[in-house]
Amino acid sequence: MNMKPYPKNIALNKTEGYLEIIWNIDDRVCRYPLSQLREACPCVECRGGHQNMGAAHDPDNILVLLPKRSYTVKDLQLIGNYAIQPTWDDGHHTGLYTWDYLWKIYPHDKHHEK
């Protein structure tokens, strides 16, 4: 079975500071801490140039990233059927977080899977 990850539900919890996605694969629930999500921004500006773009430069585990500061999301837009685009409290808004990217950067520990 090689299913493409797709969110069944996306919820932004501003109070506790995380984005929760319930995925179509095993109804897996992933909670992305907002500050780590901001640090993992996939845009060219945050990556430091075009030479740092692409899957080879993606973080393997968003949960181990050390944010420079605490971040919050001011707005969250759905982009077509493939991504979300947050507007952060620092004004940054150019990062497109695709479903594949979000799935990839969250650790899927075999011991915690259903």
Average pLDDT of the segment spanning 5-22: 97
Assigned token pair, 54: 């692409």
Residue 112 scores a pLDDT above 50? no
Biggest CA pair distance of the chain? 41
Predicted model pTM: 0.91
pLDDT on residue 41: 97
How many angstroms separate the CA atoms of 14 and 10, rounded? 13
Confidence of residue 3 (pLDDT cuts 50, 70, 90): confident
Residues 59-100 pLDDT 10s: 999 999 999 999 999 999 999 999 999 999 999 999 999 999
pLDDT on residue 114: 40
- 73 secondary structure, DSSP code: E
- Please report where in the chains the tokens 């996605």 appear, as a residue: 21
Taking the alpha carbons at both ends of the chain, their separation in whole angstroms is 16
Beta bridge partners of 21: 10, 30
Residues 32-52 pLDDT 10s: 999 999 999 999 999 999 999
pLDDT on residue 1: 56
CATH of region 7-112: 3.30.2020.30
How many Cα atoms occupy the beta-carbon half-sphere of 48 within 13 Å?
5
In 28-110, DSSP assigns E strands to 29-33, 73-79, 83-88, 97-98
Confidence of residue 113 (pLDDT cuts 50, 70, 90): very low
